[in-house]
Amino acid sequence: MVIPIGLLLGFVTVIAEPAVRVLTYEVEQVSGGYVSQKVLLYTLSIGVAVSIGLAMARIVYGIPLMHMLIPGYAITLLMTRFTSETFISMAFDSGGVATGPMTVTFILAMAVGVATGIEGRDPMLDGFGLVALVALAPILSVLLLGFFLGRKRSEDDDRQGS
């Protein structure tokens, strides 16, 4: 039950996060509408929702934090090779923005409560791990968005050139 609730809560809190709204607005303005506010908002929300779901699974099943963070950051570094510099900077900015007061307050309280209710879990360590995963999720999701938009743009350019 905790994992689906975590998914839902992760999705909703990012949508409600004021700093995320500012970031999505600024990105849409700077990109001239190429990256719309709605697309970026849903990208960030889905990314954080998935990470909260994984974090809840980590707490429930006792998965070590490093088994999620090390592969996550390895994938992040790999994806920077295939994504434009614009999306790389956007991705790392969104990682900081998504861990704002709304998201951290609600999600951290949930993680501490879940960890407290499960024997053998440390609420402090599991809570810290959650914030680390929440910071990683927007980076990965925006890099993925940049990768797909970059591919779409190059395919469109190829069709126009032919």
Span 29-71, pLDDT tens digits: 988 888 899 999 999 999 999 999 998 999 889 888 899 999 9
Give the closest residue to 51 by CA, choosing from 89, 104, 88, 90: 104
Predicted local confidence at residue 111, as pLDDT: 86
Residue 160 lies in a domain: no
The pairs formed by 22-30 with CB atoms below 8 angstroms and a separation of 24 or more are: 22/97, 23/93, 23/94, 23/97, 27/90
- For residues 104 and 15, the model is more confident at 15
Q: Label residue 157 by pLDDT band (50, 70, 90).
A: low
| Count of domains forming the chain | 1
C-alpha 37/C-alpha 29 separation (Å) is 9
Mind listing the pLDDT tens digit for each residue in 117-154? 888 888 887 777 788 888 899 999 999 999 988 877 66
User: Which pLDDT belongs to residue 11?
Assistant: 93
131 within domain boundaries: yes
Helical segments of the chain, H only: 2-16, 18-30, 37-61, 66-79, 85-97, 101-117, 123-161
Neighbours of 138 (CB within 10 A): 31
Task: Please state, in angstroms and as integers, the Cα–Cα distance from residue 16 to each residue in 41, 111, 135, 155, 160, following that order.
Answer: 10, 19, 16, 35, 40
**What is the 8-class DSSP label of residue 33?**
T
Range of the domain at 137: 2-155
82 DSSP assignment: G
Residue 25 has pLDDT above 90, yes or no: yes
Reduced to 3 states (helix: H, G, I; strand: E, B; else coil), residue 10 is: helix
Query: Is 162 a member of any domain?
Result: no
- Report yes or no on 140 lying in a domain: yes
Sign of the CA dihedral 11, 133, 85, 27? positive
Residue 161 lies in a domain: no
pLDDT of residue 43: 94
Q: What is the predicted pLDDT for the residue at 146?
A: 92
- The values of phi and psi at residue 120, to 5°, are 90, 0
Q: What is the pLDDT of residue 75?
A: 94
pLDDT in tens, 77-122: 999 998 888 889 899 989 888 888 888 888 888 888 888 888 888 8
